[in-house]
Amino acid sequence: MTDRSPADGPAVRLRDASIGYDDVPIVTRVDLTVQRGEAVAVLGSNGSGKTTLARGMLGLATVLGGEVELLGAPVGRLRERGRVGYVPQRHTVSGAVPATVREVVSVGRLARRGLFRRLGAADRVAVGEAVAAVGLADRMEEPVASLSGGQQRRVLVARALAAQPELLVMDEPTAGVDAASQQALAEVLARVSAAGTTLLVVTHETGPLSGVLTRAVVVDQGHIRYDGPLTGAEPATGHGDHHCGPGEEPVRAGYRLDQPTVSTRPVRLGGGR
């Protein structure tokens, strides 16, 4: 092999990477490699830096030091960014002007097309498939604002799926979403993952996604505290070594580190907001 095409290399590679905003690092000196086809949960409490880590991979936060590679190319220089799917940490689709499900999801196809090319038949097929995958085929022509919060999140997932991405990054896709929508999401992700798409899900509770995600990366105070099988960062069903005070909110779906070689600190979750 003399040529190194962008198709080579891992989905994500961070080497000694520091990521933040303006000049303030939030994530410091992190090493992380995600191979293609992996399904990774990036876990951590609110403010741990897990969202910044993901945003750094996508070029949405500033890389202040080290290297960040996406699909085999430095993050700023990846030319075919259309191969990346992203579901931002938003609860709803919030544009001021009404838009239909089809219009929002069609945006997912734009990055794959040249700047002046109109979307064609193949794009319409992909949009239809993505909307069907999240179970909203019969709502295609409805204004997104008329859907429930959980359904709106599913529209954003469909937008990312419509891009037929090689790497799918999702930020808190289950937060504030009803149980039925969470289950629907888990099924979609299982199918996408089986088809070979790399998954990277930023979340503070794996919930129904535990069946899909296999590897966990736990972020705490800007550092990676655990990197291994998701089962190693298992849900803490009982109280474990954490004792709830009377005024404390219960942790709904937690996870606990069972490998003290990495860190002896139990990770506490920002349970309910």
Partner 1 sequence: MEVLEYGFMQRALLASLLVGLVAPAVGIFLVQRRLSLLGDGLGHIALTGVAIGVLTSTAPVGAALVAAVLGAVLIELVRARGRTSGDVALAVLFYGGIAGGVVLLSLAPRGQATNLESYLFGAITTTSGDDLVVFSVIALLVLAVVGLLGQRLYAVSDDEEYARAVGLPVLALNIVLAALVASTVVLSMRVVGLLLISALMIVPSAVAQLLARSFRQALFLACGIGLVVSVSGTTASYYTGTPSGGTIVLLAIALFLVVAAAVALREATARRRHRRRGEVHAAHPHEHGEGCGHRPVPHGDHVDYDHDGHLHAPHLTAAGVHYDEHGVEVPAPGAGQR
How many CA atoms does the CB half-sphere of 154 hold within 13 Å?
Answer: 27
CB of 3 or CB of 22, closer to partner 1 = 22
CB of 106 or CB of 174, closer to partner 1 = 106
CB of 43 or CB of 168, closer to partner 1 = 168
Largest alpha-carbon pair distance within the chain? 64
CB of 141 to partner 1, least distance (A): 7
Do 197 and 167 contact (CB within 8 A), yes or no? yes
Length in residues, the chain: 273
Bridge partner residues of 252 (DSSP): none
CB of 169 to partner 1, least distance (A): 8
CA dihedral sign of residues 190, 233, 48, 217: negative
Residues that bind partner 1 (CB under 8 A): 22, 58-60, 78-82, 84-86, 88, 90, 93, 95-100, 102-104, 106-108, 110-111, 115-116, 118-119, 141-143, 159, 163, 169
Bridge partner residues of 43 (DSSP): 203, 218
CB of 258 to partner 1, least distance (A): 34
Amino acid at 124: R
CB of 93 or CB of 257, closer to partner 1 = 93
CB of 9 or CB of 271, closer to partner 1 = 9
CB of 83 or CB of 256, closer to partner 1 = 83
CB of 237 to partner 1, least distance (A): 29
CA 41 – CA 135 distance, rounded (Å): 24
CA 52 – CA 104 distance, rounded (Å): 25
CB of 81 to partner 1, least distance (A): 2
Structure tokens at 77: 């220089």
- Strands in 84-87's sheet, in edge-to-edge order, are 84-87, 167-171, 198-203, 39-43, 215-220, 223-229
CA 56 – CA 62 distance, rounded (Å): 6
CB of 142 to partner 1, least distance (A): 7
CA 233 – CA 242 distance, rounded (Å): 15
CB of 147 or CB of 251, closer to partner 1 = 147
CB of 84 to partner 1, least distance (A): 6
